[in-house]
Structure 1
Amino acid sequence: MNAVLPGAFTDALARHGDRVAVTDADTSLSYAELADRARAAAARLAPHAAAGERLRIGFYAANSTDYVVGYLAALFAGAVPFLADSAFGPFELARIAEDCGLDLLVHAPDADVEQVTERIPGAGEFAGGEFGGLTVSRVRRFDAPAPPLLPDTEVCRFTSGSTGRPNCIEFSGAAVLAAARNWVEGTGLSARDRIACLAALSNGLAFNTSLLAAFLPGASLHLSRGLPTASRIVRLLESTGATRLVAFPALYESIVRRSSTGGFAGVRAAISSGAPLRDSVREEFTRLTGVPVHNYYGVAEAGPLTFAADGTGTGLGTPLPGVEVIADEEGLRVRSESMGSRYLNAPGVFEARVDDEGRYRTGDQGHLLDGVLHLTGRTGRLVNVGGRKIDPIEIAEVLRKAAGVLDVVAFEAEGRHGDPVLAAVLAVEAGPTVQSLRAHCAALLPSFKVPSVFHLVDRIPVNSIGKPSVERLRRLLAEARSN
């Protein structure tokens, strides 16, 4: 196989030499320095590949320059990086390791990875600075054989685990490169841009807009560690002179609530995706900061799809280069040059979502008005909270296992600030409390799947045919909030 991504990165790193490539709170690397570190780290990885096999390397860490070094090192070593959300818990990480046949795992030293890793023979084998503050561990052997990768797969990313088992999406190098090139062309990204990225690089919002896409024209990528609070954002913008801000809607809502205006003088564009950004928040953010918010729509399986170039109107913008969007009674169907190939660990599921013309069924509903995409809902049951898709049935099943729970309904509700949150209404006997139920969820689910709102009742209200009435459940929550 002639890999695409190593050559694309090699060319970009060589062309932009002494320009700043990537920074975090502790480190700044030029393109030349990034190339040197990534090549040195790749040399450490290469000997671990079995004859005729490509190494499968999981990445389970927060954003950092070390993460970027490791990602490039995997590509340069001929390995396949598997980018897992660092918010996944040990249970989901173990499923990923087994389902995908991972060989090595790159992670923070304090990450809870004991269930899936074992010590690499030879103490200090990866000590030497190439991976910076990250640790490289061997993944323990599982009984099930590793599923074969497609010959052109170069990167794997994951869905949010909405069915309890994150689906592993295989991407060809050509698809990843097309996503980056089309984003650069469609959004006018240039060497003058300095991107402040607050989304995880494992997520499509950052992966497609702020990794290879930043390096192709010679822009600089600035990463933040820790919770993306409004004050942390302001410090990042001020210290980097950022021209672009990439973040989820919750962050813009936080800035609006706190009326934070510092640090935005040089920012020309703010990019939002992952969940709907309310028009009122977008308008107030622009009024406070003077910065337009450009909505962007994409799905994990198909990459970036639309972009709102003017940053002033409603909707999610027009299709990016290489993208076709169909909106009809079947819901939104898309075809793009950045499409994934399949789910490695769920044979046939991805293929079943692709129609006869090669368009992927997104599960969203919407319409095109003067070429601009507007979403109106979901064709399925998934809840979109903070850019992550969550299956409420999975959450309900977990809560039903808690002592004293008679019945439970999990659903999307409106939070105190109007943002979508995951809520759970539970019929319980004497004993369970909100605190004990929250702890029960936290022990079994990643943090983003723990409901934000718990409400305890004697009986779940039902409609005329005996099914839970979500409308009455939402009314219960509204009444409880007003009391």
Structure 2
Amino acid sequence: MIEPAAPTLQERLDRAARPGAGKSPLGPREDDCIGVRFIDLAEREDYHTYAELRQGALTIARALRAEGLRAGDRVALVLPTAPSFFHAFFGALYVGAIPVPLYPPVRLGRLDEYHERTATMVEAVQARLILTDKRIRRLLGPTVERCRPALGCLTVEGLARSAPRPQMSDPRHRPRSDELCFIQFSSGTVQAPKPICLTHAQVLFNASQILEALLTTCPERDGWVNAGVSWLPLYHDMGLVGCVLVALAHPGELTLIPPEIFVARPALWLRALSRYKGTISPAPNFAYSLCVERIKDGDLAGVDLSCWRMALNGAEPVTPRALERFVERFGSWGLPREALTPVYGLAEATLAVTFSPMSKPFRWRRFDRALLTEVGEAEVLGPEQPAAAGQALVSLGGPLPGFELTIVEEPADEEATAHGGRVLPEGHLGRVLVRGPSVMSGYFERPELTARALDDAGWLDTGDRGFLYGGELYLYGRAKDIIILRGRNIAPQDIEQTLDDLPGVRPGCCVAIAIPAEAHRGEELALLVERATRANPAADDELARAIVRRVSERSALIAKRVEILEPGTLPRTSSGKLRRGEARLLLMTGQLVPPKKVTTLRMAGELLRSAVAHGKAKRAKTGRREAKPSEKKT
């Protein structure tokens, strides 16, 4: 357990800012200070030492104090991957406020949905301020008008200009390690995102376990220096905790690429790993597949991936195919097979829970599909048995030090908690429960949800289904996503993944759901599939038939309904995960429609609408201030 006197995140930044605190794999710097480099689309770097980031954070802290922000107040951060995020996040911490990272508006064709969701999250944590930059603020008007935070919507640039001089005030709050550090929202794949409360001790324990795993695998000796590279968004637990806070805990050098740039040019990720000698870089499963599909040999001239020792794969189901294809594709550029490291974690545990062995190649097994889906027992198929009868699953390893993991019987009611369920022996499929020092304190101001997730002994019901085999965790879907067809409990990912390499289908953009059957009582399989960006809509009927054939061949299931959708139609979480429950609801109510076309005229209209909304919110804020004296008199 972390001791009560463990340092806080602010103290970690203070330490990292000292000269000589860490090393760069590229050699000593003139000022002997390391930090974070930000890469743009042209691969130009903007380097900021931790000392400079700290100074920017203290400036914002003084400005926030002057604006009336108090210790314990929540601050919603809507910021890109840029120095401004560090200034705002740590600036809020320095004054004792609670930062709440939220995602910026990136799906411009779904801005109405964005404003509604973001305003709901701001209200859920009772944020007194939205802090953003001047570019994003131009689109946030409708969000601000809906939730109307007490201190309004301010920009990092504006606060930096208005901040009091350093000698006039010391804004720093001295928190205990058991105080609330920040609030991160769950991804919301099956429910609305939930506000997760994390203390300094919980966050630092998780970061220290990830760091320890890295240093055990790659000890820093004989000139070897570890460094991180990431394109993950900073509002996501894997990007913030797994990259930024792990780098601070070391401290080590970190290279950041905005996520939108990675999606546009995935080769920049591998090029940055090579150029800056990155040793650790996590990503979800889809990113490894995207690299295989989009990166050409010509993009990798001079690239050497031999330094990459921890290619963590988590945050969504890990597939054997993605791992094998990535190693096969990029092994020629020095990528070690053992670098691919499947992991398991969740926001309610801060981040990491299990790691597969990092000194060995990843492991996957093919289990008897019928036995697993009908009886709930895991039995490995022999090599003489047909591959079609098997369910390929990747080992996610064992718990990190300090964590416990157990599998219990699923409750009869899918809405019920699994706490108190019978503990299942190894090889039996059930609900995954975890316990450890970095498991959340609870959901902010949501005691009923907290009681459902956490029991009195500290066990967290993850909502995931899985089993232990050889002491290692194998996952098989989310409890609320499971499709039940003719007595079989099927994880939708098993169906969806069969279509990833089908021509005409947009990879990773398929949802398998159960819908009411027309010919009989019960449910039948429906597939919602986005057409590939360059595919011909006139061939949709042919594509639908090919989808039915593929699913039948690889999973022995018959899709009774196939909907071919425009790219971008399927609803997603802020981290890009598919929202299957919402997709089903939209389909059944006739509201599953493509996003609005993003045109210059439409964007001009959105900017005008936002400006009007900002004006309304500002007048309402002024009205509240003017009303205070009369309220006191009465």
What TM-score, normalized by structure 1, do the two folds share? 0.74
- How many positions carry a matched residue from both structures? 404
- Match for 2:288 among 252, 256, 272? 252
Q: Residue type matched to 1:416 in 2?
A: D
Q: Residue type matched to 2:185 in 1?
A: F
Task: Find out whether 1:99 has 2:124 as its counterpart.
Answer: yes
Q: Which residue of 1 aligns with 2:496?
A: 413
Task: Find out whether 1:241 has 2:277 as its counterpart.
Answer: yes
Q: Which residue of 2 aligns with 1:231?
A: 267
Q: Residues 298 and 306 of structure 1 are in contact (CA less than 8 Å); yes or no, is this contact kept in structure 2?
A: yes
Q: Residue type matched to 2:343 in 1?
A: Y
Q: Which residue of 1 aligns with 2:520?
A: 464
Structure number having the greater strand percentage: 1
Q: Which residue of 2 aligns with 1:342?
A: 442
Cα distance in 1 between the residues matched to 2:476 and 2:142: 41
Cα distance in 2 between the residues matched to 1:90 and 1:382: 30
Q: Residues 516 and 523 of structure 2 are in contact (CA less than 8 Å); yes or no, is this contact kept in structure 1?
A: yes
Cα distance in 1 between the residues matched to 2:402 and 2:544: 44
Q: Residues 92 and 166 of structure 1 are in contact (CA less than 8 Å); yes or no, is this contact kept in structure 2?
A: no
Q: Which residue of 2 aligns with 1:214?
A: 247
Cα distance in 2 between the residues matched to 1:270 and 1:256: 15
Larger radius of gyration: 2
Q: Which residue of 1 aligns with 2:457?
A: 357
Q: Which residue of 1 aligns with 2:620?
A: none
Cα distance in 1 between the residues matched to 2:281 and 2:195: 28
Change (3 A) 1:197 1:311: farther
Q: Residue type matched to 2:242 in 1?
A: T
SS at 1:242 equivalent: coil
Q: Residue type matched to 1:301 in 2?
A: E
Task: Find out whether 1:59 has 2:77 as its counterpart.
Answer: yes
Cα distance in 1 between the residues matched to 2:102 and 2:153: 21
Cα distance in 2 between the residues matched to 1:244 and 1:285: 16
Cα distance in 1 between the residues matched to 2:257 and 2:120: 28
Cα distance in 1 between the residues matched to 2:87 and 2:468: 40
| More displaced stretch, 111-120 vs 36-45 | 111-120
Residues 399-478 of structure 1: pairs in structure 2 closer than 5 A? 413-414=496-497, 415-417=499-501, 420-423=508-511, 461-462=517-518, 464-465=520-521, 467-470=522-525
Cα distance in 1 between the residues matched to 2:154 and 2:46: 30
Cα distance in 2 between the residues matched to 1:218 and 1:102: 31
Q: Residue type matched to 1:234 in 2?
A: L
Task: Find out whether 1:154 has 2:181 as its counterpart.
Answer: yes
Cα distance in 2 between the residues matched to 1:99 and 1:199: 25
Q: Which residue of 2 aligns with 1:202?
A: 235
Q: Residues 18 and 32 of structure 1 are in contact (CA less than 8 Å); yes or no, is this contact kept in structure 2?
A: no
Residues 288-437 of structure 1: pairs in structure 2 closer than 5 A? 288-289=329-330, 290-291=335-336, 292-302=339-349, 303-308=351-356, 309=358, 310-314=360-364, 315-330=395-410, 331-381=431-481, 413-414=496-497, 415-417=499-501, 420-423=508-511
- Match for 2:13 among 3, 9, 30? 9
Q: Residue type matched to 2:236 in 1?
A: N
- Match for 2:38 among 24, 35, 40? 24
Cα distance in 2 between the residues matched to 1:123 and 1:352: 38
Measure how far apart 1:66 and its partner are.
2.4
Q: Residue type matched to 2:86 in 1?
A: V
Q: Residues 190 and 219 of structure 1 are in contact (CA less than 8 Å); yes or no, is this contact kept in structure 2?
A: no
Measure how far apart 1:164 and its partner are.
6.1
Cα distance in 1 between the residues matched to 2:495 and 2:446: 26
Q: Residue type matched to 1:274 in 2?
A: A
Change (3 A) 1:202 1:479: same
- Match for 2:98 among 67, 80, 94? 80
Measure how far apart 1:125 and its partner are.
4.6
Q: Residues 512 and 527 of structure 2 are in contact (CA less than 8 Å); yes or no, is this contact kept in structure 1?
A: no
Q: Which residue of 1 aligns with 2:166?
A: none
SS at 1:81 equivalent: strand
Task: Find out whether 1:193 has 2:211 as its counterpart.
Answer: no
Q: Which residue of 2 aligns with 1:44?
A: 63
Cα distance in 2 between the residues matched to 1:43 and 1:104: 15
- Match for 1:90 among 115, 128, 134? 115
SS at 1:253 equivalent: helix
Structure number having the greater helix percentage: 2
Measure how far apart 1:50 and its partner are.
4.9
SS at 1:348 equivalent: helix
Change (3 A) 1:128 1:170: same
Cα distance in 2 between the residues matched to 1:382 and 1:128: 52
Deviations 1:230-283 (A, max 9, x none): 223234334423222221111100122246563324322311111122212212
Which 5+ residue runs of structure 2 have no aligned equivalent?
23-30, 40-44, 107-112, 164-176, 365-394, 411-430, 484-491, 530-540, 550-634
Q: Which residue of 1 aligns with 2:204?
A: 177
Cα distance in 1 between the residues matched to 2:236 and 2:117: 16
Q: Residue type matched to 2:327 in 1?
A: T
Cα distance in 1 between the residues matched to 2:102 and 2:495: 25
Q: Which residue of 2 aligns with 1:407?
A: none
Q: CA RMSD in A?
A: 3.6
Change (3 A) 1:462 1:274: farther
Deviations 1:358-383 (A, max 9, x none): 21011111122222211122222389
Measure how far apart 1:190 and its partner are.
6.5
Q: Which residue of 1 aligns with 2:585?
A: none
